[in-house]
Amino acid sequence: MTGASWLDEVRAVVDAELDRRLPPDDAEPTPLYQALRYAVLAPGKRFRPALVLAAARWLDLDADGMLPAALAVELIHTYSLIHDDLPAMDNDDLRRGRPTLHRALSEDVAILAGDALQPMAFDWLMECDAEPERRVEALRVLARAAGPAGLVGGQVRDLHPSRDGGGVLAEDVMTLHREKTGALITAAVVLPAVLSGNAEAAARLTRYGQAVGLAFQITDDILDVAGHQLVMGKATGRDARQGKTTFVSLHGIEGAQAIARQELAVALSQVHGSSADALHALVAFVVERDH
């Protein structure tokens, strides 16, 4: 199994289920559902849902029972992309190879679509096949990953970096990445363990997710410098234009690649056995991907 083949397998299931669950774009209020379908069904890697289902595979859990968790994580991720692209945030024109939602429709609808995806995610998560108290704990895990100690906090750090003597500290860049990108990736891979009540697996998957999340963002930093817009599906070179401090600006491309490889070695060390094949394949995908 390769990371790409696992992503293809997951994408087919996730895309079909998202299409089935989302109201048609002529449902009322029409602008909202047009926006939701435009953003959610846009072609994406579905990397975070793939992590959910890979962890479920490792734990020998029923994939259908964990699918609502995979969908919930994708909804949170999509909301974050919509809001990150807004003029008040990163002010981007291209996402997943298409105009960003606020460009395709309108800024007000884009904001509200992102707002709608958050409660939808928590609603869908509660459908997982697990004991009620475990579903509540999973809800808490996802909420914390999406909140001020996770995704939102990381976005604030990105927009308003702290500086020391005119420069951004390397440890602050690490914290930013662990929150903005890593927290949701970690939650994705941990949710099946939480829903199954497996504390030992949750600890291992937490370390796996933290390492993969950091390596994923480091690769994004590298691709922002070395990638091509047509492949990436979004503008490249943005970090340099905005004067952002990244792992590449701090360590150079080769140094950043070395850190990513170190993190992925840590991830691989956390999960073992034949049923870990999908988790291992996704580790390889992180460093091999071109978008």
Coil, strand, or helix at residue 256?
helix
Phi, psi of 94 (to 5 degrees): -135, 135
First to last CA, the chain: 20
Residue 85 CB contacts under 8 Å (≥ 6 apart), including other chains: 91, 92, 95, 100, 101, 102, 110
Q: How far is CA 264 from CA 47, 178, 216, 272, in A?
A: 16, 14, 9, 14
pLDDT, position 170: 72
CA distance 243 to 235: 15
Q: What is the CATH number of the domain that holds 251?
A: 1.10.600.10
CA distance 45 to 274: 24
What is Dmax (Cα atoms) for the chain?
Answer: 54
**164, pLDDT greater than 60:** no
Q: Over the stretch 199-233, which tens digit does the pLDDT of each residue have?
A: 999 999 999 999 999 999 999 888 888 755 444 45
**236, pLDDT greater than 80:** no
pLDDT, position 176: 87
DSSP 171-189: HHHHHHHIIIIIHHHHHHH
Higher pLDDT, 120 or 228: 120
pLDDT, position 64: 96
CA dihedral 12, 15, 18, 21 (to 10 degrees): -60
Q: Which domain holds residue 116?
A: 3-288
pLDDT, position 289: 79
CA distance 198 to 211: 20
Q: Over the stretch 247-283, which tens digit does the pLDDT of each residue have?
A: 888 888 889 899 999 999 999 999 999 999 999 999 9
CA distance 177 to 89: 16
Query: Kind of pairing, strands 94-95 and 98-99?
Result: antiparallel
**97, pLDDT greater than 90:** no
Neighbour count for residue 63 (Cβ, 10 Å): 14
Q: Over the stretch 38-72, which tens digit does the pLDDT of each residue have?
A: 999 999 999 999 999 999 999 999 999 999 999 99
Domain count, the chain: 1
Q: What is the pTM of this model?
A: 0.92
Mean local confidence (pLDDT), 136-148: 97
